[in-house]
Structure 1
Amino acid sequence: MKENLSLASLRNGFCLWSASSLTLVCTALTVLPVTGWAATSTAPECTNTPSKSGKKNITACPTDKEHVVVRGKRAAFTATTSTSHISTQDMQAYRMQTLGDIAERVPNLSFTNTTPNNPVLMVRGLGGTEDEGPVLYTPVLIDGVPVPSFAMGQMFDFSNVDVLRGPQLTEGINAFGGMVSAQSRDPGKQLAGAVDFEYGTGNRKRATFSGDLPINASTSLRLSVGGETADGYIHNRALDRSDTGGWHGWFGRIKLLHTDSNGGEWRFSLHHMLNHGGNDYFETPEHARNHASYNTSAGVNDTEYLLGSAQYHRRFSQHMILDVTFGGASTDWRYSNPYSVFSANSGFTLPTRQIGGSVMLSGSAGTLDWKGGIYGQQVKRWAPYDFDMAPYYTSHTTATLGTANIAFMGELGWHFSPSWRLAPSLRIEHVDSSISNWTSSMSGSVPYAYSIQESLPRQTLSKTAPLPGLKLEYNPQSSNNLSQFGWLSYTRSFLPPNYSPYGSYASTVAVPYAPSYGNNLELGYRLGHPTGRWSVEAIGFANFLSNLQVSATNGAGESLIGTASTAHSRGMEASAHWKPINTLQLNAFLGLTYAAYDHFVFGGTDYSGKQMAGTPTSNFGFSGEWHPMPGWMVNASVVRRGRTTLYPSSSVQNAPYVLFDAQIEKRWKRWSVALYGHNLTNAGYFTRGLSGGYVVAANPRQLGFRVGMSF
C-alpha cells in the first residue's frame, strides 16, 4: 500500500517487501507432507507380490489421486518439495475461509494485509508486495489460473489447497518464493445438493448453496453460489458506528466436467467474487488492539475478480500423460483510506487483466522418465494513485504496466539404481516488460504555490534467464511397516525486472529495477507407515539471493522498488501425524525461518543485517480430530507464531501470539450442526504497520454456529 504522511516526506513510510512413477511410492501417506491439518484421510494399503524372476518382491500401491495429483500440474510426478496439502474437510473443520487463515496455520507461510479480506502472502520470508508492483513472489492459482492473492477474498467450494514452499521451475508459472494452488470441487456424477448457513460474531452471516447435475454418463455440472455480510469487528467511537470495518459480497462458480471417448477429462469453470467493504483499520497500536477507531470516515475497500479456466487431462498410456491449462482473470481493487489516517484523501484503483496457459507432457521409458512443456502469459495492470493534502500538497500519478512472458521447461529423471533417481531440470524464461501512460502531477499553494507536471514515453525492456535445477531422490523399497522418501535439490530462481509505477519523477521511473536471482538448496526426508497411520517429515532449506527486489522510499520521498545486492533466507519445516486409534488423529508442525538483508542501502538508510519484515523466526502448532461416537466430531488446534516486525514498517514490533481454535460438529443423515470458536484466547496482534506508527489489528475472538443440509 502506498502511503503519504507529510509534505516533507511526500510518500514517507518505506516498504520492505520484501515425480514420476519412481517416486510414486507407498508414501501416498503422506506423499504430500503433512501439516497440522493436512492428513485427514488414510493412505491406500500397499501389497507385496513376487516378481517374475522371483528375486525380490515388487511393492504395489493403489494411487490416491487427491494426494498425488493436482490435475493439470503434476500428473506423473511426486512433488519433491515442501508442501502442505489442505483438503476441503480441513478447511471446514478449522474454518479456513481466507488465505490469511491458511497462512497462520501452516509452517513458514505468513501474510500481510490492509483488510482481513486482502492478504498478500510471504513464503520463507519472501514476498508481500503485490499491491506495490507486478512482481509475484508467490503466485496463487485457482484451477491453474493465477490471480493476485489480494483479490481472492473469501475462499469457497475448493476441494483442496496446496501450499508449495520454495521456487518451482516445472509447474507452469514462474514461482520465486513458492506457490499456492487451489482446485475447485469437481461436479459429482449423481444429482445432489447442499445448503449451509453460518452466523457469528460481528453480525457475520454467510449462506452457500452447491449442487451437482449429471447431464449424461460422461458429463456433469456443478453450481455453487453464496453470499456473506458482516458488520466487522471495529467500533468507531468518533462516528458511533460498529460497521465501518464491515463487508458484504457474493460469490459463485459454475463448473463442467466431461470425459471423452478417449478417457480425456475436460474441465471448464467460471468463477466470480464481488466484495464491498469499509477500510476503518489503521489506528494507533493502543486503539487497534482494542478494535477501536477514531477515524472520521469508513474508507473504501472493494474487490472483485472474474476468472475462467479450461483444463484437459489425458493419459495416453501407462507411459504418457498430457495436461493442458488455459484461462484468464480480471481483478479489481478499489481502495481509499479514511481522511484522518494521513490527513489527506488517499487511495488507488488497481485493475489487472491477464491471460495465459500451459501445455505439459510427461512420460517414462525404461529407467528414464521425463516432463516438459511451455507456459505463456500476458498481464496488464493500471496503477493510478492519488494523495490529496490540499492546499499543502497534492500528488496524482498514473501508469500502465505490461508484462508478457514465455517459458520452456523440462525435467529428465534417471533411475540409476532401484532406490535412487537423478533429475536435472531446466527452465528458460523470457520476459518483456513495459511502462506506458506514466504521468505525475504535484502541486500546492501553502506555504507557497508550485506545480510540477511530468510524463514519460513508453519504456520497454526484455530479459531471458536460464534457470537450471537438479534433484537427487532416495526411494528405497517399502516394507509392510515403513515407507521412506528423501531428496536433495538445487534450484536457480528468478524474478524479472520491471519499472516502479509509483515514482513521482520521470528521471527515476525511467530507470528499471534489476532482476532478482536465487540459489536455493533443499534437503528433505519423510518416514511413514504405508497405511498412513503415522508419518514424520523434516526439510531444511537455504536460499542465497542477489538483487532482491524491495519496495522502499528514497531520499526524495518516492515509493520505488530497489534491490538489495545480497540477502538470504534459511530454516526448516517439520511435520508429523499419528493415528493411535481409528477415531483419533493428532498432528503437529514446526517452521523456522531467518530471512535478512546482507547488504542493502537505499534512500540513505542502511538495512544491512536487518531481518525482513513480516516473517516470524518460528511458528509451530498442534491439532487433533476426535470422533467420540458416530456422527460426532471434535477438532481443536493451537498455533504459536513468534515475534516479528510488521510489514512494511520494520520499526513496529509484533509480539508472539497464540491462536486457539475449536469446533464441535454433529451430523445426521442429511443434517449437520457445528459450533466453532476462532482465536478463542482473543490474542491481540497486528497484520500490518506503517512508519507513522499506525497498525492494522487482526480479527478478535469469533464465535458462531453453522447449520447444513444435504439433499
Structure 2
Amino acid sequence: MHFTLNPLYPSVLAMAVLTANESVATNRSMNNDLPVIYITSGVRGAALNQVPASLTAVNQETLQKQPTSHTEAMPSLAPNVNSSHGASRARFFQIRGIGERSQFIGPVNPSVGVTMDGIDMSNIGAAATLMDAQQVEILRGPQGTLYGANALAGLIHIRSNDPTTKTQGRVETTLATYNTRSLTAAVGGPVNENVGYRVAIQSNRSDGFMENDYLDKSHTNNIDETFLRGKLRIQANDHHMLDLTGFYADVDNGYDAFSLDNNRHTLSDQPGHDRLESSALALKSTWTGHNAFTLETSLSHSSADQEYGYDEDWAYPFFFTNPDDPTEDWGYNWFDNYKRDISTTTAEMRFISAPGAELFNGTTDWVTGVYYYHRETDLLRQRTDNADFNSDYTTSRFAVYGQLESRLSDVLRLTSGLRFEQSEFDYSDSDSVTSDEDDLLAGGRLALEYLANQNRTYYALVSAGYKVGGVNADTNLPEEQRAFETESLWNYEVGAKSNLLDNRLQTQVALFYQRRNDAQIKGYRTISMPSGGTSFIDYIDNTDQAYSYGLEAEAQWQVTPAINLFGGLGLLETQLNDSGAAFDGRDSAQSPSYQFMLGAAFKHSQHWFSGIEVEGKDEFYFSDSHNQRSDSYTLVNAHIGYQTPDWSIRLWGRNLTNEHYAVRGFYFGNDPRIDWAETQYTQLGSPRQIGITAAVNF
C-alpha cells in the first residue's frame, strides 16, 4: 500500500480543510421531502415518475460521493448496467446483457451510447468524465426514436452544470491510498446581463493497484488525466439562446493489469499504455420566435488521438529458458500497439410544438427532426515481428424522426415515435480488404401511461432499435465471417413509478423482455505462433437469435430528516441461440443474474454525516467464446464527514473487506512454464482504498 504526497498537495489540502459539499448542506433543508428529479434526455423535460421507461437518474449529490469521477462508476449505481475493462478505465458498457467488451483492429459501433453536453462520446469513452456533472441519466432499452443506431441497448446521458446568473464555484480535492490525488475546480457566473459562463478543470493522478516486480515499479498501471471544459450561454434576444461547450482531455494512463500468476504482481518488461488526447466543441441554438414551435438546432465536432498498447507476453526476455541451454528463450517477447485518429461530427434540427399548437383538438404534442452523423477512423497497428497494419473506416448516417404525445383521457397518455435512418460505411486496409455497404433502418417506440393519481403511474412500452452491420478486418478469417449483418432489438416492458408517504418514498419497478435478431456477438480465435505464444483473431458474428428478460427496481426512502435509505436491484436472464455455436443455449457474456446496491445516509447533527453502501453482483461469463466465469462478489463502502453551508470534509473507504474480484477475463495459453496450457487470466478490480475528500463552495 502506498501513500505519498506530491509537493503541490500539502497546500491544497490545507486550503481544502475549509471545504464544502454543497449538495449535502442544502439538500432538503432538514425536511422529509425527497427532491423531484427532472429528466432532460427526452424531447421535453419531465419528472422521473412521468417518463414511461426504465431509467436511473443520478444527481450531483450522489456523484460527488463516488471515488472516481469517470463513467466507470455508473454500473454500481444502476440496475442491469455493467462495464468491461481491459484498459486503464472501463471503456465499454453493457445494458441488460448487450454491449461490447473490447476493440482491437476491427471498427466498432457501440451498442450503448454515451453523450456529454450534446457531444457524442461513444467511441472515446476514456474522455467521458463526470467532472462538475449536474446529473447522469442511464436509459435502459433501445432509444430508437431519438437516438437511433447510437443507442441499441441504451444510453448514458451526462449533463454538466450550466452557467449561472451569479458567480459561484467549487473546489474539491482528494488524497487516497496508492498515491491517489485528484483536484477539481469549477466556477461560473455572468459576463454581463446576456452572457454567462462556466469553467471546470480536473486533474487525476494515481499509481494504480499493480506492482511490476521485474522493473521494480509500482506505477506501471497508473492514472494521469487532465480534463478541461468551458461553457457559454448567450441570450441573443428575447427569443434566441445559444449554448456553446468546449471540452479537452489529456489522458496518459499506464496499462499493466494482467499477470501470469493472476495476482497484482506483473513481470512485463514493456508495460502498456492507454492514451488519449481529445478536443470537442458543441453549439446548441434554441429559438422560440414562432407561435407554433420551438426550433432547436445543434452541431458538434470532436477529434481524438487514441493510443492503446500492451505487453502481449506479460513477461520479459528469457523469462523461461531451455533447461539444457539457458541461452535459448522458450518464451516470446511481443508488444501490440493501436493508434487511432477519430473524427466525429453530428448535426441535428428539431421542431418541438409550442403551447397552443397541439394536434387533434389540442390533445397531442409533437416533435419532428432530422439528424446527421459522420465518423472517420484511421488505425495504425504496430506489432512486434509483424508488418504494420493500416485501416480507414468512414461511416455516415442520416435520419428523420417524429414523436407524438397524446392525452387520450384524463388518466391515459400515449407516446408514439418512429425513426428512419439511412446508414452507409466504407472500409479499406493494408491487407487489401475493402467493404462498403448502405442500409435503411427503422426504429421507434409505443408507450401507454395510466395515471392512477398524481403520485402513481403505470406504463406499458414497446420499443425497437437497431445497430448497423460491419466488416471483420482479419484476413485469417474464412470468407463467410468477413462481414456481419445489422442487428435489431425489440423491447417489451411494463412498469410502475410512485411517490408515496407524502413524497418521502420514491419507487420504480420495471419488468422487461427483449428479443435480438441477428445479434452481433464478439468472439475470437487463437493461432499458435512459430516463435511461441498465441495470436488472436478478433471478430464479430451474428447469432440466430438472442433474448433477455428481467426486473429492475429502485427505491429511496427519507425515513426521517436524518435517515435516508436507498437501493436498487437488477435481475437478468439471457440466452444466445445458434445451433452451430458452442454458446448455443448459454447466457450472454457480462450478464450477471443479479445485481444489487443497498445504502443508508445519516445526518447525526447539523454538521456530522455518515453513510454505508453494499453492492453485489452474481457470477457472469467473461466472453461468448469460452466458458470461464467470474466469481460473485459483494463490496462494502462507507464514509463519515463534517459539513457547514460553505465547506465539508469526508473520510471514505471503498471495498473495505478487500474483496478480490475480476472485471475482465480471458482464456488462452500464454505461460511457457506450463507448456502454453489454456488458462483463465483475469484483470482484478480495485482493492480496498481509503481516502479523504474535501471541498469548498463559494
| CA drift at 1:552 | 1.7
What number of residue pairs does the alignment pair up? 625
| CA drift at 1:307 | 1.6
Distance 1:428-1:387 versus aligned 2 partners, 3 A rule? same
Do 2:88 and 2:223's aligned partners in 1 also have CA atoms closer than 8 Å? Answer: no
| CA drift at 1:586 | 0.7
Counterpart of 2:622, as a letter, is: L
Distance 1:525-1:96 versus aligned 2 partners, 3 A rule? farther
Match of 2:545 in 1: 566
Q: Aligned partners of 1:651, 1:506: CA distance in 2, in Å?
A: 24
Do 1:307 and 1:330's aligned partners in 2 also have CA atoms closer than 8 Å? Answer: yes
| CA drift at 1:42 | 6.1
Q: Deviations over 1:502-560 (max 9, x none)?
A: 44469568x53111112211111112238531122210111111111122235886422
Do 2:504 and 2:557's aligned partners in 1 also have CA atoms closer than 8 Å? Answer: yes
Pick aligned residue for 1:370 from 349, 366, 369: 366
Counterpart of 1:328, as a letter, is: H
Match of 2:496 in 1: 525
Match of 1:459 in 2: 435
Match of 1:141 in 2: 115
Match of 1:577 in 2: 556
Pick aligned residue for 2:145 from 170, 173, 179: 170
Please, what is the CA RMSD of the aligned residues?
2.8
Counterpart of 2:419, as a letter, is: R
Pick aligned residue for 2:523 from 529, 538, 552: 552
Secondary structure at the aligned position of 1:350 is classed as strand
Counterpart of 1:465, as a letter, is: L
Pick aligned residue for 1:296 from 266, 269, 277: 269
Pick aligned residue for 1:359 from 349, 355, 363: 349
Match of 2:3 in 1: none
Distance 1:502-1:702 versus aligned 2 partners, 3 A rule? farther
Give the share of equivalent positions with the same residue, in percent. Answer: 20
Match of 1:120 in 2: 92
| CA drift at 1:218 | 2.5
Match of 1:306 in 2: 279
Please say if 1:439 is aligned against 2:423.
no
Distance 1:88-1:517 versus aligned 2 partners, 3 A rule? same
Distance 1:589-1:530 versus aligned 2 partners, 3 A rule? same
Match of 1:275 in 2: 251
Distance 1:92-1:704 versus aligned 2 partners, 3 A rule? same
Q: Aligned partners of 1:465, 1:339: CA distance in 2, in Å?
A: 39
| CA drift at 1:79 | 3.0
Q: Aligned partners of 2:491, 2:633: CA distance in 1, in Å?
A: 30
Secondary structure at the aligned position of 2:313 is classed as helix
Distance 1:586-1:570 versus aligned 2 partners, 3 A rule? same
Match of 1:625 in 2: 601
| CA drift at 1:641 | 0.7
Q: Deviations over 1:376-424 (max 9, x none)?
A: 1001112333333x4xxx3543211111001111122332221112232
Match of 1:679 in 2: 655
Q: Aligned partners of 2:103, 2:258: CA distance in 1, in Å?
A: 17
Q: Compare 570-579 and 91-100 and name the one that shifted more.
A: 91-100
- Mapping of 1:74-113 within 5 angstroms? 74-75=44-45, 78-113=50-85
Secondary structure at the aligned position of 2:469 is classed as coil
Match of 1:208 in 2: 184
Secondary structure at the aligned position of 2:126 is classed as helix
Q: Deviations over 1:414-452 (max 9, x none)?
A: 32221112232211111011102x113xxxxxxxxxxxx
Match of 1:240 in 2: 216
Match of 2:416 in 1: 424
| CA drift at 1:620 | 0.9
| CA drift at 1:251 | 1.0
Match of 1:16 in 2: none
Distance 1:558-1:249 versus aligned 2 partners, 3 A rule? closer
Q: Aligned partners of 1:131, 1:357: CA distance in 2, in Å?
A: 26
Unaligned runs of 5+ in 2: 1-22, 315-331, 528-535, 669-679
- Mapping of 1:213-224 within 5 angstroms? 213-224=189-200
Please say if 1:708 is aligned against 2:695.
yes
Pick aligned residue for 1:402 from 391, 394, 404: 394
Q: Aligned partners of 1:301, 1:413: CA distance in 2, in Å?
A: 45
Distance 1:636-1:94 versus aligned 2 partners, 3 A rule? farther
Q: Deviations over 1:562-583 (max 9, x none)?
A: 1011111111101111112122
Unaligned runs of 5+ in 1: 1-36, 46-63, 441-454
| CA drift at 1:122 | 0.3
Do 1:71 and 1:323's aligned partners in 2 also have CA atoms closer than 8 Å? Answer: no
Distance 1:521-1:41 versus aligned 2 partners, 3 A rule? farther
Distance 1:414-1:708 versus aligned 2 partners, 3 A rule? closer
| CA drift at 1:149 | 5.3
Pick aligned residue for 1:513 from 479, 484, 503: 484
Secondary structure at the aligned position of 1:417 is classed as coil
| CA drift at 1:172 | 3.5
Do 1:420 and 1:474's aligned partners in 2 also have CA atoms closer than 8 Å? Answer: yes
Q: Aligned partners of 1:576, 1:630: CA distance in 2, in Å?
A: 25
Q: Aligned partners of 2:178, 2:500: CA distance in 1, in Å?
A: 44
Q: Aligned partners of 2:300, 2:111: CA distance in 1, in Å?
A: 20
TM-score, normalised by the number of residues in structure 2: 0.84
Secondary structure at the aligned position of 2:262 is classed as helix
Q: Aligned partners of 2:467, 2:57: CA distance in 1, in Å?
A: 26
Match of 2:38 in 1: 68
Do 2:88 and 2:221's aligned partners in 1 also have CA atoms closer than 8 Å? Answer: no
| CA drift at 1:705 | 0.7
Please say if 1:331 is aligned against 2:307.
no
| CA drift at 1:590 | 0.6
Match of 2:339 in 1: 349
Q: Aligned partners of 2:254, 2:83: CA distance in 1, in Å?
A: 20
| CA drift at 1:322 | 3.6
Q: Aligned partners of 2:273, 2:447: CA distance in 1, in Å?
A: 48
Counterpart of 1:386, as a letter, is: Q
Do 1:172 and 1:358's aligned partners in 2 also have CA atoms closer than 8 Å? Answer: no
Pick aligned residue for 1:586 from 555, 565, 569: 565
Q: Aligned partners of 1:149, 1:81: CA distance in 2, in Å?
A: 27
Distance 1:165-1:42 versus aligned 2 partners, 3 A rule? farther
Counterpart of 2:135, as a letter, is: N
Do 1:75 and 1:321's aligned partners in 2 also have CA atoms closer than 8 Å? Answer: no
Match of 1:384 in 2: 380
| CA drift at 1:355 | 0.4
Q: Deviations over 1:452-478 (max 9, x none)?
A: xxx14x531110022243211111342
Counterpart of 2:249, as a letter, is: M
Distance 1:503-1:271 versus aligned 2 partners, 3 A rule? farther
| CA drift at 1:343 | 3.8
Distance 1:171-1:379 versus aligned 2 partners, 3 A rule? same
Distance 1:250-1:283 versus aligned 2 partners, 3 A rule? same
Q: Aligned partners of 2:632, 2:554: CA distance in 1, in Å?
A: 21
TM-score, normalised by the number of residues in structure 1: 0.82
